[in-house]
């Protein structure tokens, strides 16, 4: 047995650069999903504690960060970027230990987050405003962007490093203080990264981590000193966060769930498409908001493609993410049972279960939360295996007669996070990318996560608010614009004139 059965470690908040020393009234269990063992006992923040942390962050923002020069802010960002590279393996190991994804996937997750930290190092360029000389006689006009104050970041379990990194570096680079609330299921990677900011020279209190559940989230959403909220999670909670936060006068970007479709046209390279479907469907056990969960294939090639995917799925090894397996466990026992119930429902509804993940074998010790990949064919749009976000290793295959039928099916879905088309036909790909109602589109790329200098975000029920994450939209979200119209006294000024200022 690899499990040590040590007593669960206490995991607590990071407030003003230090581990919180209070006693929590409520705690929750953190597990190693590969062994099923409880490894941590997490302090859950009360609303009062969140209020104190926000007030402390506000003071730190005003006194120690808002007026710090761009040169000094940037030097902290560069140091953080180096420390994150130094600790990338360590953070990846923490992700695998609490989330379960395999080690190289966890390492790559940190790498994608690192890209945003690198983008934030260029903040002096990103914050440059416009300047107009002599807009009126002797009058210059210029724009600037200023920080908001305290920003809340609330993140999901599936990317405990990357999702906080989508937001925190840019929010800090823009001059804000941050209160970060990670998922209560896997907080340790997030906490380890937060400690690196202190090491990088960020003043105490400018970044704080509070652990918690709905009570902590509600306290953030209603606190008057929280000016903006960046949320990522499931659609019902995203909608709630958006409605509650905006009702309390905050700007909110709330990224929600997904059902991502991959459309395969008859002229596609079927080996490439099969590889892509397997990678995007079962990577991270399907627990990615950009995972492909619905494969839409145009009929003439459907049997052939399904056979190629089934052959590949049969070769996948599921097990402990530290053992070089292809796929790890899912996050909880309840998630595993829920995922299994969707495969059962698909079979009951008349779909064909080509590969049944409930019958898988696992390379692991203990009682981990495993379910192997499932491939379910002949799915129709009324089946729950299609309508619901399963968030597990289940790939549903829907067969269509034409490109148009496929496009219509995708556009009828309430989610609009990511999608991809596989084809050699440039005209069809162009029509797809123009007409599909989805925020992130791949052409022969199955997981089209934008690079950091573009922005990440879906449409429809996959995002509430109008600002996507990172890129220039992120900078815009974390700052307020101001326009200054300036004249320095000169001999031509003066005189009373009640008319509206004109620029001629
Ligand atoms: P979740 O909605 O359960 O939790 C997300 C966050 O909200 C956590 O910090 C959690 O503590 C908090 N929370 C949970 N219930 C709450 C409630 N009732 N009130 C207030 N706060 C609450 O999501 P999850 O299970 O951690 O993550 C998986 C979901 O996130 C999936 O739906 C996935 O598609 C989505 N996701 C979306 C994106 C995206 O970019 N669109 C990225 C990653 C994950």
Query: Which ipTM was obtained for this model?
Result: 0.99
Give every CB contact of residue 56 below 8 A, 6+ residues apart in sequence: 15, 16, 205, 208
Which element (helix H / strand E) includes 18?
strand 18-19
Output DSSP code: residue 202: P
Task: Kindly state the average pLDDT of the residues 260-274.
Answer: 98
Give every CB contact of residue 211 below 8 A, 6+ residues apart in sequence: 11, 12, 13, 42, 43, 44, 45, 181, 182, 184, 187
User: 263 has which bridge partners?
Assistant: 296, 421
Mean model confidence pLDDT for the chain: 97
- C-beta separation of 397 from 278 below 8 A: no
Of 112, 155, 156, the residue with max ligand 1 atoms within 8 A of its CB, to mutate for a pocket test, comes to: 156
What confidence score (pLDDT) does residue 499 get? 86
Q: Which CATH class is domain 47-256+462-483?
A: alpha beta
pLDDT classification of 491: cutoffs 50, 70, 90:
low
Question: Of all atoms in ligand 1, which is nearest to the CA of residue 155?
Answer: 9
Question: Of all atoms in ligand 1, which is nearest to the CA of residue 181?
Answer: 9
Least confident of 142-156, 416-430, 477-491: 477-491
Output DSSP code: residue 11: E
DSSP alpha helices (H): ranges in 255-301?
270-282
What confidence score (pLDDT) does residue 494 get? 67
CATH 3.40.309.10 placement within the chain = 260-443
Query: What is 260-443's CATH superfamily?
Result: Aldehyde Dehydrogenase; Chain A, domain 2 (3.40.309.10)
Residues framing ligand 1 (Cβ under 6 A)? 154-159, 163, 181, 183-184, 213-214, 217, 232-234, 237, 240, 255-258, 289, 389, 391, 417, 458, 462
User: 450 has which bridge partners?
Assistant: none
Output DSSP code: residue 233: S
Structure confidence by residue, pLDDT tens digits, 84-111: 999 999 999 999 999 999 999 999 999 9
pLDDT classification of 495: cutoffs 50, 70, 90:
confident
Task: Using DSSP bridges, classify how beta strands 318-319 and 362-363 pair: parallel, antiparallel or unpaired.
Answer: parallel
Question: Of all atoms in ligand 1, which is nearest to the CA of residue 458?
Answer: 41
Find the 327 Cα to ligand 1 centroid distance in Å: 22
What confidence score (pLDDT) does residue 492 get? 60
Find the 293 Cα to ligand 1 centroid distance in Å: 18
pLDDT classification of 411: cutoffs 50, 70, 90:
very high
Distance of alpha carbon 132 from alpha carbon 142, whole angstroms: 6
What confidence score (pLDDT) does residue 1 get? 39
> Model-level pTM?
0.97
CATH 3.40.605.10 placement within the chain = 47-256+462-483
Annotated catalytic sites, by residue? Answer: 289
Q: Which letter, b or e, does each residue of 313-324 get, where b requires 16 or more Cβ atoms within 10 Å of its Cβ?
A: beebebbbbbee
């Amino acid at each position: 047995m690899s499990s040590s059965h040590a007593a669960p470690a206490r995991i607590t908040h990071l407030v003003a650069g230090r581990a919180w020393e209070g006693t929590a009234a409520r705690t929750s269990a953190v597990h190693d999903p590969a062994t099923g063992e409880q490894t941590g006992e997490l302090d859950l923040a009360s609303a009062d504690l969140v209020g104190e942390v926000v007030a402390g962050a506000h003071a730190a923002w005003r006194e120690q960060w808002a007026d710090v020069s761009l040169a000094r802010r940037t030097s902290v960002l560069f140091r953080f970027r180096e420390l994150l590279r130094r600790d990338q393996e360590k953070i990846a190991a923490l992700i695998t230990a609490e989330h379960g994804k395999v080690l190289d996937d966890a390492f790559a997750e940190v790498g994608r987050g690192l890209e945003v930290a690198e983008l934030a190092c260029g903040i002096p360029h990103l914050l440059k405003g416009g300047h107009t000389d002599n807009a009126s006689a002797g009058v210059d006009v210029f724009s600037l962007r200023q920080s908001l104050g305290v920003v809340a970041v609330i993140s999901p379990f599936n990317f405990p490093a990357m999702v906080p990194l989508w937001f925190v570096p840019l929010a800090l680079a823009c001059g804000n203080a941050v209160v970060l609330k990670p998922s209560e299921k896997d907080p340790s990677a997030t906490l380890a990264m937060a400690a690196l900011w202190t090491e990088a020279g960020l003043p105490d209190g400018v970044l704080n981590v509070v652990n918690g559940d709905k009570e902590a989230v509600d306290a953030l959403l209603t606190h008057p000193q929280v000016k903006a909220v960046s949320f990522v999670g499931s659609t019902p909670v995203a909608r709630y966060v958006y409605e509650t936060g905006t009702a309390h006068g905050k700007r909110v970007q709330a990224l929600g769930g997904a059902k991502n479709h991959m459309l395969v046209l008859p002229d596609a390279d079927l080996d490439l498409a099969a590889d892509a479907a397997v990678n995007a469907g079962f990577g991270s056990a399907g627990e990615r908001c950009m995972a492909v969960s619905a494969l839409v294939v145009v009929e003439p090639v459907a049997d052939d493609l399904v056979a190629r995917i089934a052959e590949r799925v049969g070769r996948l090894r599921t097990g402990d993410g530290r053992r070089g397996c292809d796929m790890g466990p899912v996050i909880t026992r309840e998630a595993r049972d829920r995922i299994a119930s969707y495969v059962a429902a698909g079979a009951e509804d008349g779909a064909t279960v080509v590969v049944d993940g409930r019958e898988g074998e696992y390379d692991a010790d203990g009682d981990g939360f495993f379910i192997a990949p499932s491939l379910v064919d002949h799915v129709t749009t009324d089946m729950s295996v299609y309508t619901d976000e399963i968030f597990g290793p289940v790939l549903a295959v829907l067969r269509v007669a034409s490109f148009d039928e496929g496009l219509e099916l995708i556009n009828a879905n309430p989610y609009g996070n990511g999608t991809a088309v596989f084809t050699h036909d440039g005209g069809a790909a162009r029509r797809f990318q123009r007409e599909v109602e989805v925020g992130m589109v791949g052409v022969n790329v199955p997981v089209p996560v934008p690079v950091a200098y573009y922005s990440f975000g879906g449409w429809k029920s996959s995002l509430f608010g109008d600002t996507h994450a990172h890129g220039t939209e992120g900078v815009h979200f974390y700052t307020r614009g101001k326009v200054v119209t300036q004249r320095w006294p000169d001999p031509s000024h003066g005189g009373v004139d009640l008319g509206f200022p004109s620029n001629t």
